[in-house]
């Protein structure tokens, strides 16, 4: 009996709840920006969140951010899951302590003033926001570990509901903060902290039946996952996330040292948040590839789906940038002033390649993750960091272009090089998969 190829419909059913989850997560930043833009001192508070709080919080959580991919790939039996859970508890606790150390001690000024060179008016508001964001790292570590188990055992639909819970809590806290006319940075960070906590609690309840019914009775994996084996798999992923997230404070530091610094930092979360909503369609595909590539005759359908996502997300951003939809989103929804609107609309044009590049990266990176060959992913991210960093440095040295534009050009060029290297490093994996499935390698 011949195995049937993996259908695009089945891929869609696995991808849709993950994409919905990422999309809802991607909506968080635009919604926050829209509310903060309608409160007192919008430029200062938007710049404080997008230029200091968010980059620092992401850097601190870097060692746990890839737990979703690791858990999806490795949580095949109860013993493996327990090892991942032990890592999550230890890393989450230590990183939360580090977060408090940075937020509550003079280390904060070393980062915000010495390293980022942020405008003076956003330093203290951002510190308040960073303190409020303390629950961020541990709750995300817990959530991503258990979301991976859900994906592994076919319960990805729960993830989208969890993100809806998070977004609902965001909106509730934002509405209260807006009604009370609290400072924008307090409103934004309180909403994010409450949202991730609510989502983690929900996922914690919903994962219990999956652990009991699906994971605990699962066949024991042989050879058993060891801590050494987990480290060899996960350390390149940690380096990948760390190097990827390092570019955010680098970007903030560069924007702070280029023309229209405050305006660029204020518009940055609006533009990057909107582009991320489209990028999220491709980001969600990574776990789909990891989960489905083991199936016979899956290579060609997954490759085709990656190309469809690439064309679709790029076309969507082009359509928005070309039409009055950009004014609707940036002015009517995000409440940007006329000057900031022009800055942001030009930024959409510069970032037009980013959503499609994410889709291609998820295809190549997912294949490498599925094969356990994660070193190529770290190499690609290192190239991304070097290329983007050099581009930002060149923009600062030149000093003749608005910081927002330099930042988006640097990110786009860096992601292009990163995608190319992932293609290079995944070719032998994809060739072997094509031989398994009797498909032509073509553009793999």
Is residue 112 a part of any domain in this protein?
yes
Is residue 119 a part of any domain in this protein?
yes
d(CA 66, CA 50): 22
Is residue 399 a part of any domain in this protein?
yes
Is residue 308 a part of any domain in this protein?
yes
Residue 266's domain comprises 8-437
State the average pLDDT over residues 171-191: 96
pLDDT at residue 442, as a whole number: 46
Contact 214, 381 (CB under 8 A): no
Note the pLDDT tens digit of each residue in 413-434. Answer: 999 999 999 999 999 999 988 8
∠ CA 253-257-258 to the nearest 5 degrees? 120
Instruction: Compute the mean pLDDT over every residue in the chain, rounded to the nearest whole number.
Output: 89
pLDDT at residue 417, as a whole number: 96
How many domains would you assign to the chain? 1
> Which region among 160-169, 292-301, 424-433 has the lowest average model confidence (pLDDT)?
292-301
- 255 phi and psi angles, rounded to 5 deg: -60, -35
pLDDT reading at 334 higher than 80: yes
Is residue 213 a part of any domain in this protein?
yes
pLDDT reading at 93 higher than 60: yes
Hunting for tokens 């940055």 — which residue is that? Answer: 268
Residue 130: how many other CB atoms lie within 10 Å: 28
Is residue 117 a part of any domain in this protein?
yes
Query: Structure pTM?
Result: 0.77
State the average pLDDT over residues 162-173: 94
State the average pLDDT over residues 38-55: 90
Is residue 87 a part of any domain in this protein?
yes
Residue 113: how many other CB atoms lie within 10 Å: 13
Residue 205: how many other CB atoms lie within 10 Å: 10
Is residue 196 a part of any domain in this protein?
yes
d(CA 298, CA 288): 11
């Amino acid at each position: 009996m011949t195995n049937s190829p993996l259908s695009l419909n089945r891929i869609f059913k696995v991808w849709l709840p993950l994409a919905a989850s990422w999309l809802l997560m991607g909506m968080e930043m635009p919604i926050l920006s829209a509310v903060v833009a309608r409160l007192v001192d919008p430029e200062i508070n938007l710049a404080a969140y997008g230029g200091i709080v968010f980059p620092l919080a992401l850097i601190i959580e870097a060692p746990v951010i890839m737990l979703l991919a690791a858990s999806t790939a490795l949580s095949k039996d109860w013993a493996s899951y327990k090892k991942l859970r032990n890592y999550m508890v230890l890393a989450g606790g230590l990183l939360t302590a580090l977060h408090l150390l940075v937020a509550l001690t003079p280390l904060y000024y070393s980062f915000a003033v010495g390293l980022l060179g942020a405008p003076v008016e956003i330093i203290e508001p951002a510190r308040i926001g960073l303190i409020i964001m303390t629950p961020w790292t541990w709750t995300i570590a817990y959530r991503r570990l258990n979301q991976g188990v859900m994906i592994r055992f076919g319960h990805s639909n729960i993830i989208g509901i969890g993100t809806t819970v998070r977004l609902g809590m965001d909106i509730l806290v934002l509405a209260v903060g807006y009604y009370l006319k609290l400072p924008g940075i307090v409103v934004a960070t309180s909403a994010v902290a409450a949202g991730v906590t609510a989502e983690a609690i929900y996922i914690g309840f919903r994962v219990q039946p999956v652990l009991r019914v699906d994971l605990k009775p699962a066949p024991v994996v042989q050879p058993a996952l060891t801590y050494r084996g987990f480290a060899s798999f996960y350390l390149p992923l940690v380096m990948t996330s760390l190097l990827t997230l390092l570019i955010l404070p680098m970007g903030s530091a560069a924007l702070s040292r280029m023309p229209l610094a405050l305006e660029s930092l204020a518009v940055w979360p609006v533009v990057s948040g909107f582009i991320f909503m489209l990028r999220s369609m491709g980001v969600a595909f990574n776990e789909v590839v990891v989960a489905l590539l083991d199936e016979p005759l899956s290579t060609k359908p997954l490759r085709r789906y990656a190309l469809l996502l690439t064309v679709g997300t790029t076309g969507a951003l082009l359509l928005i940038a070309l039409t009055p939809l950009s004014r609707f989103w940036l002015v009517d929804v995000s409440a940007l002033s006329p000057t900031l609107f022009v800055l942001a609309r030009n930024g959409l044009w510069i970032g037009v390649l980013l959503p499609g590049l994410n889709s291609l990266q998820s295809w190549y990176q997912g294949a490498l993750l599925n094969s356990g060959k994660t070193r190529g992913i770290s190499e690609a991210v290192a190239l991304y960091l070097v290329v983007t960093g050099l581009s930002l440095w060149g923009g600062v040295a030149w000093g003749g272009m608005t910081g927002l534009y330099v930042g988006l050009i640097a990110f786009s060029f860096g992601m292009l090089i990163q995608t190319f290297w992932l293609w290079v490093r995944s070719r032998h994996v994809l060739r072997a998969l094509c031989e398994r499935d009797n498909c032509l390698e073509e553009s793999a």
